[in-house]
Chains A and B, each alone.
Chain A
Amino acid sequence: MLDVRHCATLAEAAGIVSGDRQAVLLGGGTLVMRDVNEGRLTEGTLLRVTDPVFRRIEAGGGRIELGAGVTMGMILANRDLAFLHAAARAIGGPAVRNMASVGGNLFAASPYGDFTVALLALDAQVVVQAGFGSGRAVPLEEFLAARERSGPALVTAVQFSRPSNPGEFHFRKISRVRPKGISVLSIAAHLPQSGGRMAQVRVAYGAMAPTPIRARGVERALEGKSLDAGAIQMAKQAALEGCRPATDAIASEWYRREVLPVHLGRLLAGDGR
């Protein structure tokens, strides 16, 4: 039988996650409740965190912290987070967005995880209070690499720096159905310019590997360059480095590999298509 426990504090939830391997954290439930309805999840305890800290947004300054329970809808309602609106709007339809949480997106299997792609290009850190790497802020890339084998965890928040120029942060999701369709792939890029050259470039992909990944080859191709046709060509040539896309109901591995460089080129060229 499946039980539900309401945790008034994060500490209480962390205690249960650490001690009970059958505890399943419930964010917005858009993935967990599917399993309940399909009879895939019939035993154990669903943990509902009611601590207000879990749904807190701190976005007034240069350092941003989003509680893991913050929903895509809450991000879209927050003007200080305008640079993240394209990524938040990429998740499902309006009702899904009112439920889908930042924390749940970190665990969503490919081709889901579009918001996490944006976080990866922002060099986000994941605050874990129980389970993998607990008690510290883990770099998101490290967190994703360990996600499948790390067992139950309680993520309480994600943290990252605000891009000093929001116009240098880009996100696009490629899907076959508009306005709402599951990702063929998604791309996020943070391209800070200093003196006409790019420095600390971060590019990330969704649906191009079992988890969202950083596009290291592209980052190397762009670092220190000005964003011109030559640099974009080099980035496109390096686009597929490290990619291991899947064939699924949305697209084949071949198709994802074919279209990724095209969409990356358009994003870098500022082409709105």
Chain B
Amino acid sequence: MAKIPVQFRLNGSDRAAFVDAPETLLNTLRRGLGDFAPKYGCGQGACGVCTVLIDGEPHLSCLTLSVACEGKRIETASGMADGPDLHPLQAQFMEHFAAQCGFCTPGMLTVARALLDRNPNPTRDEVIEAISGNICRCTGYEPIVAAILAAAGSPGMRRSEGGRHA
């Protein structure tokens, strides 16, 4: 079957890809466009490692059709650093040892970013709720929650391009 062209903004740049009709956004990002931040964990919506922002809101790219993303704004953890300067969430994840193997980290950073865009001063419970769709098998969550709360208090929180208040 013929490939289908799709165009969307990825981390602020216009990108295009030729995809199969039932291809997932996760496959297009990783195989087609070389963005390896979102990972393939379960392919079932259960682990959250494939989470990306679509128009500022968290979505599971393993369950999203690429052809449904025409004209959308997609953001992944790859777009969070500004050159050599880490995003405050990334800096706080390092500071708090919130990554061990790192497999869950891009998904955690992405849902945390969406939370802080909407709610710059979340409570601990709101942080726990925000990461509740993301599984980490190493850190035990506590350092992740601490890192997100610390980033919320840190100066220089940048908003994602598609964030509601952007």
A36 close to chain B: CB less than 8 A: yes
Complex: how many Å from CA A2 to CA B1? 9
Of the listed stretches A95-103, A116-124, A164-172, A234-242, chain B binds A95-103
Given contacts A3-B21, A93-B134, A179-B129, contact A99 B43 (CB under 8 A): no
Q: Which residues of A contact B67 (CB under 8 A)?
A: 4, 6, 48
Contacts A3-B1, A34-B43, A95-B58 hold; do A48 and B68 have CB atoms under 8 A apart?
yes
Q: Closest chain A residue to B60 by CB distance?
A: A95
The stretch that binds A, out of B44-52, B83-91, B143-151, B154-162, is: B44-52
Q: Is the CB of A95 within 8 A of B43?
A: no
For A269, list chain B residues within 8 Å (CB).
none
Do A36 and B111 touch across chains, with their CB atoms under 8 A apart? no
A33 surroundings in chain B (CB, below 8 A): 24, 45, 62-65
In the assembled complex, B132 has its CB within 8 A of some CB on chain A? yes
Q: Is the CB of B132 within 8 A of A93?
A: yes
Contact A95 B48 (CB under 8 A): yes
Interface residues of B in 59-110 (CB under 8 A from A): 59-60, 62-65, 67-68
- Interface membership of B34, Cβ < 8 A: no
Q: A37-B62, A95-B133, A99-B59 are in contact. Are A30 and B45 (CB under 8 A)?
A: yes
B130 within 8 Å of A by Cβ? Answer: yes
Segment 17-51 of A: residues with Cβ below 8 Å from B: 26, 28-30, 33-34, 36-38, 46, 48
8 A Cβ contacts from A137-189 to B? 179-180
Q: Which of these, A48, A93, A96, contacts B65 with CB under 8 Å?
A: A48
Contact B21 A180 (CB under 8 A): no
Instruction: Flag if B44 contacts A37 (CB, 8 Å).
Output: yes
- Whether the Cβ atoms of B63 and A29 lie closer than 8 Å is yes
Interface size class of B (residues with CB under 8 A): 20 to 34
- Chain A residues near B132 (CB-CB < 8 A): 93-94, 179-180
CB <8 Å contact, A98 and B59: yes
B116 CB to nearest chain A CB (Å): 13
A34 / chain B contacts, CB cutoff of 8 Å: 43-45, 63
CA distance A29 to B130 in the complex (A): 21
A92 within 8 A of B: yes
Report the bound CA distance from A4 to B64 in whole Å: 12
Task: Return the CB mask of B8-33 against A: 1 if under 8 Å, else 0.
Answer: 00000000000001101000000000
Instruction: Tell me the minimal C-beta distance from B155 to chain A in angstroms.
Output: 26
- A96:B45 contact, CB within 8 angstroms: yes
Indicate if the CB atoms of B45 and A4 lie closer than 8 Å. Answer: no
- Are A1 and B111 CB-contacts (below 8 A) given A94-B58, A179-B128? no
| Interface-centre pick from A33, A73, A179, A180 (highest chain B CB count, 10 A) | A33
B62 / chain A contacts, CB cutoff of 8 Å: 33, 37
Contact of B64 among A29, A38, A179 (CB under 8 A): A29
In the complex, B117 has a CB within 8 A of chain A: no
Q: How near does chain A come to B125, taking the closest CB pair, in angstroms?
A: 8
The yes or no answer to B37 lying at the interface (CB within 8 A) is no
Q: Is the CB of B65 within 8 A of A46?
A: yes
Q: A33-B65, A179-B129 are in contact. Are A93 and B48 (CB under 8 A)?
A: yes
Q: Which residues of chain B are within 8 angstroms of A98 by Cβ–Cβ distance?
A: 54, 57-59
Residue pair B22, A99 in contact (C-beta under 8 Å)? no
Kindly report which residue of chain A lies nearest to residue B26, judged by CB atoms.
Answer: A37
B114 interface hit (Cβ, 8 Å) = yes
Q: Tell me how far the C-beta of B100 lies from the nearest C-beta in chain A, rounded to whole angstroms.
A: 21
Q: How far is the CA of A93 from the CA of B46 in the complex (A)?
A: 9
A sample of 12 more A-B contacts (CB under 8 A), given A30-B60, A37-B24, is: A2-B22, A36-B24, A37-B44, A37-B62, A93-B134, A94-B111, A94-B129, A94-B133, A95-B58, A98-B58, A98-B59, A99-B59
Closest 5 CB pairs of A and B: A93-B133, A37-B43, A33-B63, A180-B132, A95-B58
- 5 A-B pairs in the complex with CB atoms less than 8 angstroms apart: A3-B22, A4-B65, A33-B64, A95-B48, A99-B63
